[in-house]
Amino acid sequence: MPTSSPLRVAVIGAGPAGFYAAEHVLKSDDTASVDVYDRLPTPFGLVRAGVAPDHQKIKNVTRVYGKTAARPGFRFFGGVDYGRDVSLDHLRKYYHAIIFATGAQIDRRLGIEGEDLPRSHSATEFVAWYNGHPDFCDLQFDLTQKAAVIVGVGNVAVDVARILCRTHGELAATDIADYALEALRVSQIQDVYVLGRRGPTQAAFTNPEAKELGEMEAADLIIDPAEATPDPISAKELADNPDRESVRKLEMIQSFAGRETTGKPKRLHLRFLVSPTIIRPAADGGVGAVDIVHNEIYRTDRGGLRPRPTDRTSTLDAGLVFRSVGYRGVALPDVPFREDWAVIQNVDGRVTDDDDHPVPGLYAAGWIKRGPSGVIGTNKACSVETVNQLLADAESGRLPEPHDPSRDGALGMVAAARPDFIDFEAWERLDQLEIAAGEASGRPRVKFTTVKEMQEALGRAGPRRMRG
Ligand SMILES: Cc1cc2nc3c(=O)[nH]c(=O)nc-3n(C[C@H](O)[C@H](O)[C@H](O)COP(=O)(O)OP(=O)(O)OC[C@H]3O[C@@H](n4cnc5c(N)ncnc54)[C@H](O)[C@@H]3O)c2cc1C
Ligand SMILES: NC(=O)c1ccc[n+]([C@@H]2O[C@H](COP(=O)([O-])OP(=O)(O)OC[C@H]3O[C@@H](n4cnc5c(N)ncnc54)[C@H](OP(=O)(O)O)[C@@H]3O)[C@@H](O)[C@H]2O)c1
């Protein structure tokens, strides 16, 4: 039997997965209503706090989310943290279903000596800092160093490399946080080393992103032709399975390899088949050098191609390290979590308990459901799958009835927990103010980077209980 009152859904996390989930609920059931919560006052998750500032066009996807927000039945509760401000018991009182779409908030560890030295940072921190995430805006990065090492060759590593190599003029045309624009203006970094532990055919970055590295205004891309040549196992794998993307990737990397340098002020060294083994301190106690081992590729029993160390080693002198080896999901109170995969325990989006039984009314979507991979659009199909399970459960009477399914009831609960919460209309005012602030200097926007600034811009007395 369907729910006895119109469907009420809470979505925790206002990133792409949260917005796609809200959209699909509202499009599928015009009596339903959805409240989207985010711990930050601002919506859009990694589209605001992750996507690189020099990739502005990608951020246009927020227009689609704006259309979802304009649907009757949609509300945004910004600055409301699940776990700190609202609990599962609170939410269950007001909603038939809760969808967790909290993304992957922290970094994966490398597990090597020296990883925690001063000047060794995760890309997660650096990216959040240059994008003006309020929790990261006070971090300091010592850009007086001459050389930086980035570990990993995913698209995030490529973003970090580009930002370190861009000119001030290039960055000044973006929405990079003001303090990061200034810090990068006086950066002394000349050499950036990007380390891939496997070969060119296994590099995780995608081709358009790799192409950009070869076209930087202020940095020569340097690739050793020997490292751009696939080892025999990888070459055979590609010959047996010549997928277009990998063939094109190899062609491109080889076309860059061995190119003459042109005397640009920075050098971007893309390395393959090398892993860091120790990050060594300089005399001042911060990062001074990175020991690396050269790897070879072998085929595992399950057929995968993995790296293993040889006895060839070398050392890179560098005063800064950015570890970019993937993000990691964080467990939420009262929600079953798989520590080994760092995702919410779920089957196709239905949260499951330790006996693999669905927990009635709980769902997961996006990176916290399937792990930290995939582009923005990948989350659409992911969220649609989750919401279809939810709608099927609603139709067959498997959702718990909330004690108070009224919209006012939930609003009262939120207002009591966070009187200073930000609704979508308040966010739209902040958005307009940021865009207006950017206009004078030809920038897409100048971001507010603290919660205090945002509250003040809205004419509020200032946060009573919020951080930032
Ligand atoms: C650095 C970086 C750059 C990227 N660039 C691109 C790109 O250029 N193009 C592309 O297509 N894809 C890009 N991606 C991938 C894309 O950003 C992700 O696929 C997508 O953001 C994942 O969506 P999500 O909603 O699962 O998570 P997120 O976008 O992380 O959203 C999760 C939201 O949940 C909120 N939240 C977390 N915990 C709580 C809590 N306890 N209570 C309330 N709210 C909470 C967070 O504040 C956040 O707003 C990039 C990823 C990264 C890391
Ligand atoms: N422009 C865009 O479209 C864009 C921009 C940014 C991010 N994204 C997406 O966001 C997702 C996350 O990106 P990501 O770069 O964080 O992750 P990713 O694509 O999974 O890349 C992680 C990288 O870290 C390496 N790595 C993992 N463990 C390592 C270790 N112990 N030592 C050395 N290297 C190690 C991986 O190598 P192995 O392959 O050998 O494991 C890989 O090169 C991806 O799907 C990405 O495409 C997209």
Q: Please name the residue whose Cα sits nearest to atom 18 of ligand 2.
A: 154
| Residue 16 CA to ligand 1 centre (angstroms) | 7
> What is the DSSP secondary structure assignment for residue 86, as one 8-state letter?
B
Q: What is the dihedral of CA 312, 315, 321, 327, to 10 degrees?
A: 0
Q: Is the CB of 367 under 6 A from ligand 1?
A: yes
184: three-class secondary structure by DSSP: helix
Q: What is the pTM of this model?
A: 0.97
Q: Which domains does the chain have, with CATH numbers?
A: 8-105+329-457 (3.40.50.720), 108-326 (3.50.50.60)
Q: Is the CB of 325 under 6 A from ligand 2?
A: yes
Q: Is the CB of 370 under 6 A from ligand 2?
A: no
337-338 and 343-344: which strand pairing?
Answer: antiparallel
Angle between the N-to-C axes of helices 178-185 and 123-130, in degrees from 0 to 180, rounded to the nearest 10? 110
Q: Is the CB of 374 under 6 A from ligand 1?
A: yes
| Separation of alpha carbons 372 and 216, rounded Å | 28
Q: Is the CB of 367 under 6 A from ligand 2?
A: no
| Separation of alpha carbons 173 and 293, rounded Å | 39
pLDDT in tens, the chain (468 residues): 578 789 999 999 999 999 999 999 999 999 999 999 999 999 999 999 999 999 999 999 999 999 999 999 999 999 999 999 999 999 999 999 999 999 999 999 999 999 999 999 999 999 999 999 999 999 999 999 999 999 999 999 999 999 999 999 999 999 999 999 999 999 999 999 999 999 999 999 999 999 999 999 999 999 999 999 999 999 999 999 999 999 999 999 999 998 999 999 999 999 999 999 999 999 999 999 999 999 999 999 999 999 999 999 999 999 999 999 999 999 999 999 999 999 999 999 999 999 999 999 999 999 999 999 999 999 999 999 999 999 999 999 999 999 999 999 999 999 999 999 999 999 999 999 999 999 988 999 999 999 999 999 999 865 444 444
